[in-house]
Amino acid sequence: MSKLNNIKAAIIDLDGTMLDTAGDFQVAVNRMRDELGLTPLSQETIVNFVGKGTENLIRRVLAVDYAEDEAAGYFQQALDAYTEHYLAINGDYASLYPGVLEGLQAMRAKGLRLACVTNKPVSFTLPLLAKKGLSGFFEVVYGGDSFPKKKPDPMPLLQVCSDFKLEPAQVVAIGDSSNDAQAARAAGCRVLNVPYGYNHGESIHDVDSDGIVSTLVEAAQQISVD
């Protein structure tokens, strides 16, 4: 993999990239399911539903037990319950992946401007970043409800480019899933993927990117500001 040159900023995903939040998802989803009288789901099952936003997660979780029209009738109740339970435990069952803090520090030391763009709602994202000591790294934070469209749509990434007054080619997106890669490609940004995240249960090696990096430290090493 050749270095990415003339990069001035990095847009970094949250779940599956900086934080392993599978435990949070499992606890919140299964507490919601318990309220609906449904049996618990395994962490593996739930994680495969993660990545396209909370509404999609809830629909997928309900689809395990209900037909589409029936699930629609339970959607709002399930979403409200899930939101309540998630906010109550947000970050309690989540942990930083190895190399995240060191990688962010290395990117900042290179002079890169940093943004966090996630499909997680902003009301979940901001407290979680603060709880895990990540808030100070990011000039800009956008969640899945910050814009009319979320990743894999390029809208959030293009907004960061505008915020930073940079051309998309000067910005790299770093994430664990096809959502991040597709959004970056559509925006005209470069893209690096990490192999340890969720990616809807599919291999990250099948995703079109500029390279796979084992940690954010390696990502920092592959980025050149010149």
Q: Which residues are catalytic?
A: 13
Residue type, 43: Q
- 211-224 burial, b at 16+ Cβ within 10 Å, e below that, comes to bebebbbbbbebbe
Mapped onto helix, strand or coil, the DSSP state of residue 187 is helix
115, β-bridge pairs: 11, 140
Q: Which residues contact 187 (CB under 8 A, 6 or more apart)?
A: 154, 157, 158, 161, 168, 171, 173
3-state secondary structure 102-170: HHHHHHHHCCCEEEEECCCCHHHHHHHHHHCCCHHHCCEEECCCCCCCCCCCCHHHHHHHHHHCCCHHH
Determine contact, residues 19/132, Cβ cutoff 8 Å.
Answer: yes
Q: CA–CA separation, 8 vs 117, rounded Å?
A: 16
The label of the residue with tokens 């990490």 reads 194
